[in-house]
Amino acid sequence: MYGAGDVRVENVPDARLFEPTDALVRVTRAAICGSDLWPYKTMPREEQGQRMGHEFVGVVEDVGDDVRAVRVGDLVVAPFLWSDGTCVFCREGLHTSCLHGGRYGFDDVDGGQGEAVRVPQADGTLVALPVGEDDALMPSLVTLTDVMATGHHAAVTAHVGPGKTVAVVGDGAVGLCGVIAAKRLGAEQIVMLGRHQNRISLARDFGATEIVSERGDEAVERVRELTGGFGAHSVLECVGLGQAVDTALAIARPGGAVGRVGVPQEDTIDGSVAFWKNVSVAGGPAPARAYIDELLPDVLDGKIEPGRVFDRTASLDEVPDGYRAMNEREAIKVLVEP
Amino acid sequence: MYGAGDVRVENVPDARLFEPTDALVRVTRAAICGSDLWPYKTMPREEQGQRMGHEFVGVVEDVGDDVRAVRVGDLVVAPFLWSDGTCVFCREGLHTSCLHGGRYGFDDVDGGQGEAVRVPQADGTLVALPVGEDDALMPSLVTLTDVMATGHHAAVTAHVGPGKTVAVVGDGAVGLCGVIAAKRLGAEQIVMLGRHQNRISLARDFGATEIVSERGDEAVERVRELTGGFGAHSVLECVGLGQAVDTALAIARPGGAVGRVGVPQEDTIDGSVAFWKNVSVAGGPAPARAYIDELLPDVLDGKIEPGRVFDRTASLDEVPDGYRAMNEREAIKVLVEP
C-alpha cells in the first residue's frame, strides 16, 4: 500500500529464514482485514510503501535450527501477531503483549497478503492444522488468525456468559464473529446493530435474536426497549469509531461491560458515562494465539462456521479490487488465494 | 453550601417522616467527604444553597409504618446513597443504580452534615450496629458510609487479589482506604503515590510496601521500576482528575486493570492507552450498602482501622472550617460530631 486507496501487487525479495527460530511459510490462504481499511482510507502517500496482510494459513517450507513445534510440510495457521510463547505475557495468555513479538509487514517480516512469509518465533506462533490445504473448512480456519479470535475477545472482555443479554455494535466480519462467540458462550439474547441485509441475515444465522437498524440515539432507545429498559449486560464494540464507542457505552446496562476490539480511531472515550453506571470497559488486540487452542476444536467439529463471513474470493492480482469492494461495503470480507 | 468556599451552618425545617418507608435518624457522627470539595472549589453562587453531607451514623428516632428492619433506638450506619434493597440492581449488589434510590441533600431529603436526616427506603438502606453511639470504633464505622467502601470498590474493580501488585493513585482518605482494601484482599505489593508525610506514614501503617513521591512521567517511571518494568496488575484511581487517570492508565501492566472511584472531573479518558495493552477500566460510585455486609465484621473485629483517616474532629459550627482545612490539605478527613 502506497497511500489511501493505492494498493499494488508487486514483486518483493523472496521470503527467507533469518533467525534459527524462524519458519518459512508458503501462503495457501490469506485475507483482507477490516483494520486494513483504516490505512486504505487515510494513509498518506509514501515512496516506500507498506507490505500488507496479517491473516494467513500456509504450508511450512523451511524451518530454522531451533524450531521444534512445526515441521516442513505442516499446514499451519498464523495468528495476526507473532509471539514467543514463553515470556511472562504469553504464559498469561496475553500473546499480544509478548516481549519478543511483533507485527507482519514491518522490518524484515513479510506481509501475509503474498506468496510466502518469514514467521519469527515459529514455535510460539504457528499452530499445525490436521487437515489438507484445500479442506472445505479452510475459510473458517483462516478466521482463527484474527476475526473469529477478535470477536471472541470482544465477548470475553464484555463478560458474556450464560443467560446474559448481549449487544453487538458493528456488522462487519468481527461483529458477525462476535455474534458467534456470544452464542457459543451461552448468551440468552443477542442484539445486532446493523442495516445491511446480507449481514443481518448472516447475523441471524449465527445466533442474533434481534436486529436494530436505527442509528444514534434511536438505536440506543431501541436496544433499551429490547433489554427490559436497562441495556445489555455485555456490549461488543467492533468498529473503533468514536460514535460506535459512545453507542456501546450508552446501551450498556448499569454494572455491565463493554468489550472493545475495534481499532480506536479516536483516542478519547467518554469515561463519565461508564463511571456513573459502573460499566467496565475492556478489550484491545485479541490474543489470537491463545484463543486458537479454544476455538479450533469447534471449527474442526463444524460447531461454528465463521468462514461464512467471506463472501468473495480473490487471487493476488485481485487484491486491490478486494480492498475497494470491502471499503465500499460491497463485500463483507475477502479471502485471498495466492 | 452557597457557592465555592461558602459553607454556612443554618437552621432548616426539622427532619420528619414523609413516607411509610422512611426512618428519622438523629445524626451522632458525620463526615466531610473528598467529593464535597469539588463543589467547594467550583460551585457557582446560589441563592437557595445546597444541603451537604452523605456520610453519617445515627440513632433511629422514628420509623414509618412499613419499616421492619430497623427500630427506634437502633444505632445505624447509612451508606452514601439510599436504596430499596429489593430492585433488580440491589439484588445484584449494585445499590448505586437502585431503581428507587437517591442522594442525600436533594429534594426533601436532608443532608448528613446536620442534626437529623429523613432516610427514605430505610429497610433497604440502614444497617444496625451492635455497639453504642460513642464506641471507640465509631470513626471506622463512619468510613463504611463511603470512603472505606469506596476504597474497597476501587480494589475490587481493579481485580486486586492474592499475589497481585497494586498501585494506588491518590493519597486522600479514599486512597488510604484503598491501601487497606488491597492488603485485605491479599495484594503482595502495594505502591502508594503520595507526597505528604502524614499520609505516607498512614499508608505504610495500612500496608503500603513502597511510596512513590515523584509526579507525572517520573512517577510512572518509578512505579514501572518497582514492578519489574511492566507496571501494576491493579491500579486504584482515587482522585478523579484527568492527570490522575492518565497516570493510572500509564502505570497499569498489560492485561491489568484500573479501578476508578475518583469522581470524574474530566469527561474523557484516553481509551487508546488502555486498548493497546488490554487494560480494563472499571469502577464508579461504590455500592457501599453491599460492601457494609462484607466489611463491617472486620471493623468490629479490629482487623481494619479505616477510622484512622480522620485526623480532625469538628462540631457542626466548625464544619465550614473543616471544609477549609480539608481543601488546603491541612486535614486528611474531618469527623463531625453534631
Mutate to test the interface with A, among B156, B159, B275, B276 (most CBs of A within 10 A): B275
Q: Judge whether residue B270 has pLDDT over 90.
A: no
User: Taking the domain A148-283, which CATH number applies?
Assistant: 3.40.50.720
Mutate to test the interface with B, among A278, A279, A291 (most CBs of B within 10 A): A278
Answer whether A254 touches B (CB < 8 Å).
yes
Residues of A in contact with B89 (CB under 8 A): 254-255
Cross-chain residue pair B278–A281, CB shorter than 8 Å: no
Query: B17-54: per-residue pLDDT in tens?
Result: 999 999 999 999 999 999 999 999 999 999 999 999 99
Q: Judge whether residue B205 has pLDDT over 90.
A: yes
Q: Judge whether residue B293 has pLDDT over 90.
A: yes
Which residue from B4, B31, B10, B74 is spatially nearest to B310, judged by alpha carbons?
Answer: B31
Query: B127-158: per-residue pLDDT in tens?
Result: 999 999 999 999 999 999 999 999 999 999 99
Cross-chain residue pair A94–B254, CB shorter than 8 Å: yes
Residues B53, B104: Cα–Cα separation, whole Å: 7
Q: Which residues, including other chains, have CB under 8 Å from residue A21's CB and lie 6 or more apart? A: A64, A66, A67, A84, A120, A121, A122, A123
Answer whether B282 touches A (CB < 8 Å).
yes
Tell me which chain B residue has its CA closest to the CA of residue A268. Answer: B270
Residues of A in contact with B97 (CB under 8 A): 254-255, 277-278
Residue A102 DSSP one-character state: E
Cross-chain residue pair A277–B284, CB shorter than 8 Å: yes
Burial of residue A98, with CB atoms counted within 10 A of its CB: 0-12 exposed, 13-18 middle, 19 or more buried: buried
Tell me which chain B residue has its CA closest to the CA of residue A96. Answer: B277
**Cβ A316 vs Cβ A286: under 8 Å:** no
Residues B325, B332: Cα–Cα separation, whole Å: 8
Answer whether B268 touches A (CB < 8 Å).
yes
Residues of A in contact with B267 (CB under 8 A): 270-272
The B residues from 159 to 188 touching A (CB cutoff 8 Å) are none
Closest CB from B157, B269, B278 relative to A271: B269
Which residue from B72, B117, B82, B14 is spatially nearest to B336, judged by alpha carbons?
Answer: B117
Tell me which chain A residue has its CA closest to the CA of residue B281. Answer: A281
Q: Output the pLDDT for position B258.
A: 98
Which one-letter amino acid corresponds to residue A266?
E
Residues of B in contact with A277 (CB under 8 A): 97, 284
Answer whether B294 touches A (CB < 8 Å).
no
Query: B44-97: per-residue pLDDT in tens?
Result: 999 999 999 999 999 999 999 999 999 999 999 999 999 999 999 999 999 999
**What's this model's pTM, rounded to 2 decimal places?**
0.96
Distance of CA A315 to the CA centre of its chain: 21
Residues of B in contact with A99 (CB under 8 A): none
CA distance B96 to chain A (A): 8
CA distance A288 to chain B (A): 13
H or E element at residue B157: helix B147-157
Residues of A in contact with B230 (CB under 8 A): 88
Q: Output the pLDDT for position A277.
A: 97
Answer whether B254 touches A (CB < 8 Å).
yes
CA distance A279 to chain B (A): 6
Q: Judge whether residue B228 has pLDDT over 90.
A: yes
Nine-digit cell string for A203: 447475523
**Domain span(s) for CATH 3.40.50.720 in chain A:** 148-283
**Domain span(s) for CATH 3.90.180.10 in chain B:** 23-146+287-336
Cross-chain residue pair B282–A284, CB shorter than 8 Å: no
Consecutive 10-residue runs of chain A (338 residues): their mean pLDDT?
Answer: 97 96 98 95 95 98 98 98 98 98 94 98 98 97 98 98 97 97 98 95 98 95 97 97 94 98 87 94 98 98 98 98 97 97
Q: How many CB pairs under 8 A join A and B?
A: 104
Closest CB from A254, A268, A269 relative to B94: A254
Q: Output the pLDDT for position B269.
A: 86
Cross-chain residue pair A272–B277, CB shorter than 8 Å: no
**Cβ B314 vs Cβ B336: under 8 Å:** yes
Task: Note the CATH architecture for domain B150-283.
Answer: 3-Layer(aba) Sandwich (3.40)
Mutate to test the interface with A, among B95, B164, B281 (most CBs of A within 10 A): B281
Average pLDDT over chain B reads 97
**Cβ A254 vs Cβ A277: under 8 Å:** yes
DSSP lists the bridge partners of residue B260 as: B237, B283
Q: Please give the CATH superfamily to which domain A23-146+287-336 belongs.
A: Medium-chain alcohol dehydrogenases, catalytic domain (3.90.180.10)
Q: Output the pLDDT for position A266.
A: 82
Residues A276, B315: Cα–Cα separation, whole Å: 32
Answer whether B94 touches A (CB < 8 Å).
yes
Burial of residue A251, with CB atoms counted within 10 A of its CB: 0-12 exposed, 13-18 middle, 19 or more buried: buried
Output the DSSP codes for B16-74: ---STT-EEEEEEEEE--GGGHHHHHHPPP-SS-------EEEEEEEE-TT--S--TT-
Answer whether A103 touches B (CB < 8 Å).
no
**Domain span(s) for CATH 3.40.50.720 in chain B:** 150-283
Residues of B in contact with A260 (CB under 8 A): 271, 275
Answer whether B281 touches A (CB < 8 Å).
yes
**Cβ A282 vs Cβ B259: under 8 Å:** no
Mutate to test the interface with B, among A272, A273, A289 (most CBs of B within 10 A): A272
Answer whether B150 touches A (CB < 8 Å).
no
List strands edge to edge, sheet with A210-212: A210-212, A189-193, A165-169, A232-237, A252-260, A280-283, B280-283, B252-260, B232-237, B165-169, B189-193, B210-212
Answer whether B269 touches A (CB < 8 Å).
yes
